[in-house]
Amino acid sequence: MAPRVPLPVTLLLGAALALQVGYQAVRAPQHRVAATLQDAPPLAVLRLASLGEPVALAKAMTLHAQGQDAADTPLNDIDYVALRSWFERIVDLDPRGQAPLLAASQVYAASSDPARTRIMLDFVYRRFGEDPDRRWPWLAHAALVARHRLHDAALARQYAQAIRTRVTNGVLPAWARQMELFILDDMGEDDSARALIGAMLASGQVSDPRELAWLERRLHAISARQRQAHP
């Protein structure tokens, strides 16, 4: 027997569909307008409207929010502040859902407008802290965006450091734990990189023999580089 969909969810889906159909019908190709999205309703209102089915409502809201940007609508035409409010409410309603974090870090962070990109990265970073063991992949991607799209090494390091220090050791793969070291290398922060490796070795955070050997090699390479620079 198929699960019953709550009436508010059905209405919201219908409203979203009607909005999209109407928008496409009246939009002339030669007069593109910016995609409009109002701020999301208050969480208390949404919880009441869900009739005990917050996950179903969250999925409907995801469709509505992401349906605002048609395939030919530039990311820079989207109201990122309003979009973020929808993502916030969706995560509140469905904390285990990953769609808003994935969309924020991998789709909407691709905007050519640095301010818009930062809105999405900040959203991912703040919500990462509530469930680091499940949400770290999205923050890892945010760190790459910060480093290579925004060219903000300090922000990338902040994200990488949060991943290294807040995610359970058994959950985090070696490449993610080492991300901060690579960013420090890019920044030319040899002293900080040496201190970080020393802390990782001393803390027992790393137990895999291959990773330990790699860290030791990195430490020796940094020390050799510093001796050459300052004989």
In this structure, the dihedral spanned by the alpha carbons of residues 192, 197, 198 and 199, taken in order and rounded to 10 degrees, is 90
Three-state DSSP at 152 gives coil
Question: Which of 43, 150, 41, 54 minimizes the C-alpha distance to 97?
Answer: 54
Residue 50 CA to residue 58 CA, distance in Å, equals: 9
CA torsion through residues 109, 114, 120, 121, sign: positive
Inter-residue contact 153 to 187 (CB < 8 Å): yes
**The model scores a pTM over 0.85:** no
Residue 8 CA to residue 10 CA, distance in Å, equals: 5
CA atoms within 13 A on the CB side of 79: 15
Instruction: List the Cα angle 66/67/68 in 5-degree steps.
Output: 90
Q: Write out the chain's pLDDT in tens, 231 residues.
A: 444 444 444 455 444 444 443 434 334 343 343 447 889 999 999 999 999 999 999 999 998 887 765 555 678 888 999 999 999 999 999 999 999 999 999 999 999 999 999 999 999 999 999 999 999 999 999 999 999 999 999 999 999 999 999 998 788 888 888 889 889 888 878 777 778 777 777 777 777 788 888 788 887 877 777 677 666
Which are the contacts of 125, defined by CB distance < 8 A and separation ≥ 6?
139, 142, 158, 159, 162
Question: Which of 131, 122, 201, 132 minimizes the C-alpha distance to 165?
Answer: 132
